[in-house]
Amino acid sequence: MVVHGDTVGAEGLRRNLADWLTDLELITAGTLAEKDGYIGYMKPYATSHEELDKDTAFEQDVRSAATTLARAIKLQAGGQLQAADEGLRPANLK
């Protein structure tokens, strides 16, 4: 999951999406599979794509997120990636 913004809210949105997916009982692929950041912080929207093209560090983080997800999918398909709480249920179900 990659969330970017140009003013505020990217981190909150990433956390909200991650929490929502966890509520759906999906498991995380790992810490590098989640990234939030700001591109062109507080600069005009019209030039934000130019800022994105220049941000090679963010681009590498996006690659790492995609690679982490691909690896997790392979592990899951091979039965090697399981949630640590597999088989346990909360005492109070919704």
pLDDT in tens, 13-28: 999 999 999 999 899 9
pTM value > 0.85: no
Residue 88 lies in a domain: no
Residue 91 lies in a domain: no
Residue 44 lies in a domain: yes
Residue 16 lies in a domain: yes
Structural domain count of the chain = 1
Amino acid at 87: G
Residue 69 lies in a domain: yes
Residue 32 lies in a domain: yes
Residue 57 lies in a domain: yes
Contacts 24+ apart (CB under 8 A), 27-30: 27/81, 27/82, 27/83, 29/68, 29/69, 29/71, 29/72, 29/73, 30/68, 30/72
More confident residue, 45 or 56: 56
Residue 90 lies in a domain: no
The parent domain of residue 34 ranges over 2-77
